[in-house]
Amino acid sequence: MTYPEFQDNCMADPRLGLNELEAGLAVARRASFRQAAIDLDVSTTALSNTIAKLEASLETRLFNRTTRSVSLTEAGTLYLQQVGPALQDVRAALEAVRSHNAGPSGVLRINAFASAARAALLPLVLEFLQRYPKVHIDLVTEGRLVDIVADGFDLGVRSASLVPSDMIVIPLGQPQRYAVVGSPAYFEQHGRPLTPADLLHHQCLRIRLPNGAIFPWHFERAGEVTRLDISGPLTLDESSVAKTVVQAGVGLGFFLEQDVLAEIEAGQFERVLEDWTPPRDNLCLYYPNRRNPSAALKAFTALARGNLPSKD
């Protein structure tokens, strides 16, 4: 479905500036005036007035508002889909001009899940900031999968199999592995599982995904694949809390290997079923193909590929 009158109004009205367009996108992404106002560093009253001006200029209602929620109208959904990428192109073009002589500057927004940010992305970010102190990196870590274009991110980090096919991809770090771990006290009391099926007789921590589903434990050896919907005393959705519970001897946990290596090396955790947890997908940095990428984005992706010129 298309809305030619919406597109015509948006392009033709000279009263609409970048501030109004940015405000509309912020509310659309956050589905909250309060959260969008925080992002934009303005008051909710000022933001509400800006959105009223935007909708009046477009002669189109973008948001359904109640006292408890904000949701997109059909026109609002179209606004997010079309104006969001277009505005990113405008920002990138302006930044390219600004950086022509001064070098990379501005803001890079990156979305990643927490363990990827710690293991693979953070060293890259720290090196980049040393080289380009005029660039500010806004790193958002979350478990849910997002559309980085619609949500206003320049880059994302995910497992290779989760990256959309139309993105440019740069591999990061080593392939991931899962690890089943427990405390020495737990194994002393309950014994050690020798096969994945043995886990059905152990206390295991259940993992809740961002969409509310329970994550099955995955195992593979010599072509044999097993997925277990385990049971146990506790369901959790945060890795650091789960590690505390495992350390207390309450049950076994299923983690990404890099999240528990320090505890394994310190003897706080013991690993089992290691031959059933082979390497999985590589982590990847990914981003959309844009006509005018900013100088900061070009420098960051060059560093990620390992072909950035020396600082000397």
Give Cα 174 distance to the centre of its chain: 19
Q: What is the CATH number of the domain that holds 75?
A: 1.10.10.10
Shared-domain flag, residues 264 and 295 = no
Please say if the pLDDT value at position 99 is more than 70: no
Q: What are phi and psi of 220, to 5 degrees?
A: -155, 135
Shared-domain flag, residues 162 and 213 = no
312 falls within a domain? no
257 falls within a domain? yes
Shared-domain flag, residues 48 and 109 = no
Handedness of CA 118, 123, 125, 129 (dihedral sign): positive
Q: How many Cα atoms within 13 Å fall on the side-chain side of residue 300?
A: 31
Please give the single-letter amino acid code of residue 248: A
Shared-domain flag, residues 62 and 110 = no
94 falls within a domain? no
The number of folded domains in the chain is 3
CA dist., res. 296 & res. 133, Å (int): 11
Shared-domain flag, residues 162 and 197 = no
C-beta neighbour count of 3 within 10 angstroms: 16
Structural domain boundaries, residue 243: 178-276
66 falls within a domain? yes
Please say if the pLDDT value at position 307 is more than 60: no
Would the pTM count as exceeding 0.85? Answer: no
Please say if the pLDDT value at position 83 is more than 90: no
CA dist., res. 309 & res. 205, Å (int): 47
| 131-188 confidence digits (pLDDT tens) | 999 999 999 888 778 888 888 899 999 888 788 889 999 988 767 789 999 999 999 9
| 205-243 confidence digits (pLDDT tens) | 998 877 778 888 999 998 889 999 888 889 998 888 999
